[in-house]
Amino acid sequence: MRIDRRVLSDALCTLTRVAPTNGALPILRSVRLEAANDVLTLTATDLDQRLTAELPAETPQPLTACLPAKMLATVVKPDCKADNGSVEIEPVGNDVFAVTLDDVTTRLFGLPPDDFPAVLGPANLDWIMAAVWPAEPLCESLSFILPAISRDETRPVLNGAYFTGDAIAATDGHRLHKAPLPGLLAEKMVVPRAACETLHRLLADADQVVMARAEEHLRLRVGCWTLETRLIDGEFPDIKHVIPARRGLPLKLTLDTKVFDKALARISKLSSDGRLKVTVNGNVTLATWDAEHGEAEIEVPAAASNHKKSNDFVTGFDGGYLRDALKAGEELVDVGFSWDPVLPMRMDGGDGRVAVVMPMRV
């Protein structure tokens, strides 16, 4: 079997993110190769998600193998941008395969392909088309909500993105991000964080995504890729009750996104724990104090504000959370506060994106 080196290397780079580097089952650290009819099919799984790529290849003879994913990726990775050429993979013994490029041959020891998990769920799932969406807007929405997905394993339903109606949302209990979906979705579902991260990478170079659902499984087709994942079982919090109504927030400002982000980046470097004191005084003043670096303060001018300078409003936030709520390249962001410093702040970007950030004690 012969295949373009760079095409194979790029695919393995993505597949190795799915194949676990550690685990009780050595077979899961492998990638399954099946070559026939001038197509090479590569598959990796961690038993929660299954990722498959179909690549053009020269297949004079059928080939089936199960090779160590990380080792194979290391062997075929180009040394520089000028490295192109092709890779040949052929059996030379019982589960032993020769990988040849540039007249250099490496022998890799594989595992029996029949030991590789055949499917992610039941073999007779009844897949139903759920949506066909353009890739770019979905990729942008995933970029926005991914930082807010929880990593707290004691609350598993928050360890994924909530797809509902025409929106996608995520929360870790300290903040919530909500962004629009490029089309309506009939059924609600919670997609695990790992699958969302994989999908986000696949969408970067794609035109569209085709989504199908079968019970508590989701299948996504993106270009030459097919991603299958188990959905998270559980009731996601009602995001309508978490997001404060903008009209109900008495204190409103509009900030230049680039200026605000630059100020947050500069002052956050001086904070040992990321906490910032935020003072609204017509404009927004960011301040921090650190025993090693001392005090720092930066004022961010407001493009628009309904606040009178005679009555300062003081609260505190995690600077990283505020930066995550901003979108690079966007000109303005609308910010709303309640007069109570323990209530959350709401940030509205373009295209219906909303971030809710809980305050911190400073």
Q: How confident is the model at residue 211, as a pLDDT?
A: 97
> 3-state DSSP call for residue 251?
strand
196: enclosing H helix or E strand: helix 193-203
Distance CA 156, CA 355 (A): 21
Return the closest-CA partner of residue 336 out of 242, 241, 239, 248. Answer: 248
- Number of neighbouring beta carbons within 10 Å of residue 284: 21
Q: How confident is the model at residue 293, as a pLDDT?
A: 66
Q: What tens-digit pLDDT sequence spans the chain (362 residues)?
A: 999 999 999 999 999 999 998 877 899 999 999 999 999 999 999 999 999 999 999 999 999 999 999 999 999 999 877 777 899 999 998 999 999 998 899 999 999 999 999 888 777 889 999 999 999 999 999 999 999 999 999 999 999 999 999 999 999 999 999 999 999 999 999 999 999 999 999 999 899 999 999 989 999 999 999 999 999 999 999 999 999 999 999 999 999 999 999 999 999 888 878 899 999 988 999 999 876 767 889 999 999 999 876 688 999 999 999 999 999 889 999 999 999 999 999 999 988 999 999 999 87
Please give the CATH superfamily to which domain 128-240 belongs.
DNA Polymerase III, subunit A, domain 2 (3.10.150.10)
Please give the CATH superfamily to which domain 2-115 belongs.
DNA Polymerase III, subunit A, domain 2 (3.10.150.10)
For residue 67, which amino acid is it? L
List b or e across 47-60, with b for residues whose CB sees 16 or more CB atoms inside 10 angstroms: eebbbbbbbebebe
| Cβ neighbours of residue 304 closer than 8 Å, sequence gap 6 or more | 252, 253, 254
- Contact, 34 vs 63, CB < 8 A? yes
Residue 161, beta-bridge partner list: 191
- Number of neighbouring beta carbons within 10 Å of residue 242: 15
Tokens of residue 15, six digits: 């597949």
**Domain 243-357 in the same topology as domain 128-240:** yes
For residue 3, which amino acid is it? I
- Contact, 362 vs 276, CB < 8 A? yes
Which sequence spans correspond to the domains of the chain? 2-115, 128-240, 243-357
At residue 322's C-alpha, the angle toward residues 319 and 328, to 5°, is 120
Return the closest-CA partner of residue 7 out of 44, 55, 48. Answer: 55
Q: In this structure, which topology does domain 243-357 adopt according to CATH?
A: DNA Polymerase III; Chain A, domain 2 (3.10.150)
Q: How confident is the model at residue 309, as a pLDDT?
A: 67
> 3-state DSSP call for residue 247?
helix
Place of tokens 């899961």: 28
